[in-house]
Amino acid sequence: MSLFGTGALGRVVRSGVGRRRVQTVVIAVATLVAVASAVVAGSLMVAAAAPFDRAFGKQRGAHITAQFDPVKVSAAQLAETGKLAGVTAIAGPYPSTAFRPVDQAGFRMPTLTLVGRSGPDGDVDRVDLKSGRWPQKPGEIVLAASFEGPAIEIGSTLKASGAANAQTLSIVGFVVSAGKTADAWATPAQVEVLGSEGRPVTSQMLYRFESASTKEQILADRKKLAASVGSGALLGTRSWLDTKRAADQGAAATVPFVTAFGALGIVMSVIIVSSVISGAVGTSLRRIGILKAIGFTPREVVRAYVAQALIPAGAGIAAGVVLGNLLAAPLLGDTQEMYGTASLSTAWWVDVAVPATTLVVVGLAALIPALRAGRLRTVEAIAVGRSPRTGRGQWAHRAIGRLPLPRPVTYGLATPFTHPVRTLAMLLAVAFGTVATTFAVGLTSSLSEVGASQDTDGRAAVTVTTTKLNNVAPPPPPPVGGSAASPTPAGDGVASTSKPKVAAPAKVRSAITSQAGTGSYYGKAQSEVAVAGISGSVQAGLYEGDSRSGSYEMLSGHWITGKGQVVVPTRFLERTSTEIGDTVRVTYEKETANLRIVGESFDTSGNELEIHADMANFRSAEPSTFLVGVMPGVSADEYAQKLAAVLQPLGGDAATNAPSEQKGVILIMDAMAVLLTLMLVSVAGLGVLNSVILDTRERVHDLGVCKAIGMSPRQTMSLVLASVTAIGVVGGLIGVPAGYALHHVVMPVMGRAVGTRMPSSVLDVYGPGELLLLGLGGFVLAMSGALVPAGWAAKARTATALRTE
């Protein structure tokens, strides 16, 4: 208490805090919400900025990673590209290929991009050896540190493929590449060996430019490279901006909406704190006059009222820091461990900066009404007391009194005009509460639409699989390098404990078409492919037949309609600097096809890329599932049971698709939105409660007079509730459009954070009836806040009210 004075001043402060319990709680809760939201937003912003920038700068990461066709451009020509205007450093060319190894346990790993380099250093992409050493001869390999684990460590071996005669590669180290230029590295000779087995080999070049901080600059740099080599020589590129965004996406999607809630909380806390202190000054004029009369200086009065705001604010700030850290934990936990470090806790300076800033804001918000208390003249304050100024709002009473409504209602409707500043604060509290509710309803509805749009397989009534694992007697002993205890996908040349029985796709198609009740169907295979210009594997959905019923929502272009076409997400276009109409080279197993991009799909899978193409592009591809739609009136359960009875002897199966459930980050964001909204609405309700209590106590003598001349408790309650009716209606009319606009600003920003645009189905989630109900929410919020003081006023005894001044 020494900060605000000791002795008499300290007792005044403690008395004010203890006597005004409602105001104390309102300030504490308002600051708690503001600080909790700001801590979460700040933590996510820090997590989204580190540690990529530090690691990328240290390693001199590549601004552009380019893949060239070695048949169309020589190494000497590629070296000349280092002399192009704006190029500051190059590295390469390095031979590069894609392969899908099998580990010692027999598990088939994802498709990896392997690059041949003689060492980890270079003018660009100076990768860090986390452990082990660099490969020195064929048969040795280093992997990205993200692959390190109990089954894959230094000294472990990998088979280059699932074939029985595949080359064995020994892991000699693990490295960290901030720019993600590859998944594995070996000697150039080793890459050529794998290329001689039928895998296509490309030439990788790494570039740094003078200007590469924006997408437009990257596109301009890419055009320079494409123009410097022959037509078709540049197969693909990857921008460092896409790599950075992929590293940031663990928390980036949640930053926009949490920041919006944080801003609402901070603004609301400023409004409410100012209103509370202003109300405390307005209802304590006689007390202020007495304090001055017994010797308190104006400065001490100001300090006393600022302290009465800062003490509960300090408690709310402390609780808000704790709550903010708890809320941020699940979101930060979703951030991937990157580049040998992790950002899984709130930065210490966020826990310091946010409370300090909030304390200053609250102090300034309290200072203005406190200065008014300090300037009051002693005689005037004692004489006026807490009665409202004579004549204020009388015009409103005369005008509203002419309405054909009961007198208690018209009296209540005119009450807000007596204290316009207090009314404005109450109106803003209701409006901001309605904004938060409208925004949260739109946010959760949009997230539901996002989840539904990504569950394309769930639209089919029945899923038919072509493979059914039967638990039978153990198979024969595995070959050398395999393990009978380790199940492996069929066809890899490694034994497993479950013997797969595969139904021929032709027989499955025949069974589906002959089954009564079949409406439509299409085949699908989910696999991994390699795309020129992109390191690592890319998920691919390969379709057979008319797959329009299972198509992704399109942002531009159209869904695949035949061979030679591919649909890609927005991130693919940005990462490869391509656009609709361009051609990309896709490798499936050992088959390569040049596919034309015909559509841009709405895909929220984050860093993962998934492309969609016709199965006819690859001769060896076969559907692993069939998605079936049944005819109207046909029971999906009965259909699936009958079809399963036909397929199971063949090795297939059929099952009804269950409704999809939201999970993961969508559930976390939904829960966060609901929690933060409830907190903001509670603060708004407390703001209304505080203002109505001040009005009711200020007019308690008038209420006593009204009761003495015959006003019933019910009429008294209607008077108090009517005083906030117009505020609730107007607050709703203001809050709903503002919340609608906020939703349409934040959702596209969230989409850009995960590398996509938002379709209209995700943005246009409000219906007319829903907007009307949300507008009524402002009225309900105002009524809820006024209900308790209205009940208190109704139960107050007439004699007690008349004696109160």
- Is residue 229 situated within a structural domain? no
Is 757 within 8 Å of 751 (Cβ atoms)?
Answer: yes
623 and 682 in a single domain? The answer is no
- Is residue 374 situated within a structural domain? yes
Would you state the pLDDT for residue 171?
A: 92
Higher pLDDT, 309 or 461: 461
pLDDT, tens digit, for every residue of 113-171?
899 998 888 889 988 888 899 999 889 999 988 787 777 889 888 888 877 788 889 99
555 and 439 in a single domain? The answer is no
158: helix, coil or strand? strand
Nearest-Å Rg of the Cα atoms of the chain is: 35
Q: Which two tokens stand for residue 295?
A: 């010797």
pLDDT of residue 316 exceeding 70, the answer is: yes
Is 70 within 8 Å of 116 (Cβ atoms)?
Answer: no
Beta bridge partners of 87: 209
Question: Which residue segment(s) compose the domain that 278 sits in?
Answer: 1-46+258-386
What residues contact residue 70 under an 8 Å CB cut-off, 6+ apart?
A: 93, 95, 201, 202, 203
**What does the alpha-carbon distance between residue 347 and residue 320 come to, in Å, rounded to a whole number?**
15
Measured CA to CA in angstroms, residue 65 lies from 27, 157, 225, 534, 768 at distances of 54, 28, 11, 9, 49
Is 514 within 8 Å of 586 (Cβ atoms)?
Answer: no
Among 799, 801, 803, 732, which Cα is nearest to 772's? 732
pLDDT, tens digit, for every residue of 9-20?
677 677 766 666
Is 503 within 8 Å of 532 (Cβ atoms)?
Answer: no
DSSP assignment letter at 580: T
Is 480 within 8 Å of 471 (Cβ atoms)?
Answer: no
634 and 675 in a single domain? The answer is no
Would you state the pLDDT for residue 337?
A: 43
Q: Which pLDDT band, with edges at 50, 70 and 90, does 57 fall under?
A: confident
pLDDT of residue 451 exceeding 50, the answer is: yes
**What does the alpha-carbon distance between residue 648 and residue 632 come to, in Å, rounded to a whole number?**
25
438 and 519 in a single domain? The answer is no
530 and 601 in a single domain? The answer is yes
Beta bridge partners of 469: 500
Report the range of poorest mean pLDDT among 63-77, 492-506, 623-637: 492-506
What residues contact residue 67 under an 8 Å CB cut-off, 6+ apart?
A: 96, 202, 203, 204, 234, 235, 236, 237, 532, 533
651 and 566 in a single domain? The answer is yes
Would you state the pLDDT for residue 351?
A: 83
Is 100 within 8 Å of 109 (Cβ atoms)?
Answer: yes
543: helix, coil or strand? strand
674 and 650 in a single domain? The answer is no
Q: Examine the fold and report which residue of 180, 203, 226 is the final residue of a domain before the chain moves on.
A: 203
**What does the alpha-carbon distance between residue 429 and residue 273 come to, in Å, rounded to a whole number?**
11
- Is residue 537 situated within a structural domain? yes
Q: Which pLDDT band, with edges at 50, 70 and 90, does 752 fall under?
A: confident
652 and 675 in a single domain? The answer is no
The mean of the pLDDT values for the chain is 79
* pTM over cut 0.75: no
Rounded mean pLDDT, 645-670? 73
Would you state the pLDDT for residue 498?
A: 37
Among 609, 602, 591, 598, which Cα is nearest to 561's? 598
H/E element holding 194?
helix 188-195
379 and 451 in a single domain? The answer is no
* Count of domains for the chain: 4
pLDDT of residue 664 exceeding 50, the answer is: yes
Would you state the pLDDT for residue 472?
A: 32
**What does the alpha-carbon distance between residue 309 and residue 503 come to, in Å, rounded to a whole number?**
74
Q: Examine the fold and report which residue of 629, 656, 683 is the final residue of a domain before the chain moves on.
A: 656
**What does the alpha-carbon distance between residue 539 and residue 176 come to, in Å, rounded to a whole number?**
23
Measured CA to CA in angstroms, residue 226 lies from 67, 81, 577, 583 at distances of 11, 10, 11, 14
455: helix, coil or strand? coil
**What does the alpha-carbon distance between residue 666 and residue 801 come to, in Å, rounded to a whole number?**
53
Is 422 within 8 Å of 278 (Cβ atoms)?
Answer: yes
Measured CA to CA in angstroms, residue 111 lies from 127, 200, 531, 605, 717 at distances of 21, 14, 11, 18, 72
Q: Which two tokens stand for residue 8?
A: 């008499």
**What does the alpha-carbon distance between residue 515 and residue 527 come to, in Å, rounded to a whole number?**
28
Q: Examine the fold and report which residue of 186, 203, 220 is the final residue of a domain before the chain moves on.
A: 203
678 and 766 in a single domain? The answer is yes
115: helix, coil or strand? strand
**What does the alpha-carbon distance between residue 765 and residue 448 come to, in Å, rounded to a whole number?**
10
pLDDT of residue 594 exceeding 80, the answer is: yes
Rounded mean pLDDT, 721-739? 91
H/E element holding 264?
helix 255-282
Would you state the pLDDT for residue 665?
A: 60
451 and 462 in a single domain? The answer is no
- Is residue 399 situated within a structural domain? no
CB atoms within 10 A of CB 550: 20
Query: Residue 233: what residue type?
Result: A
User: What is the maximum alpha-carbon separation in the chain?
Assistant: 104
Q: Is 769 exposed, middle or buried (0-12, 13-18, 19+ CB in 10 A)?
A: exposed
Question: In angstroms, how far is CA 127 from the centroid of its own chain?
Answer: 31
359 and 435 in a single domain? The answer is no
* 240-252 and 21-49 helices, crossing angle to 10°: 150
**What does the alpha-carbon distance between residue 186 and residue 783 come to, in Å, rounded to a whole number?**
71
What residues contact residue 220 under an 8 Å CB cut-off, 6+ apart?
A: 211
Measured CA to CA in angstroms, residue 193 lies from 67, 170, 186, 794 at distances of 19, 15, 11, 91
- Is residue 634 situated within a structural domain? yes
Percent of the chain residues past pLDDT 70, beyond the cut: 82
Would you state the pLDDT for residue 606?
A: 61
Q: Is 85 exposed, middle or buried (0-12, 13-18, 19+ CB in 10 A)?
A: exposed
Would you state the pLDDT for residue 559?
A: 94
Q: Which pLDDT band, with edges at 50, 70 and 90, does 206 fall under?
A: very high
Percent of the chain residues past pLDDT 90, beyond the cut: 19
Rounded mean pLDDT, 232-252? 76
- Is residue 394 situated within a structural domain? no
Q: Which pLDDT band, with edges at 50, 70 and 90, does 401 fall under?
A: confident
Is 186 within 8 Å of 169 (Cβ atoms)?
Answer: yes
- Is residue 79 situated within a structural domain? no
- Is residue 407 situated within a structural domain? no
**What does the alpha-carbon distance between residue 739 and residue 762 come to, in Å, rounded to a whole number?**
16
Rounded mean pLDDT, 326-349? 58
**What does the alpha-carbon distance between residue 525 and residue 545 come to, in Å, rounded to a whole number?**
12
Query: Residue 25: what residue type?
Result: V
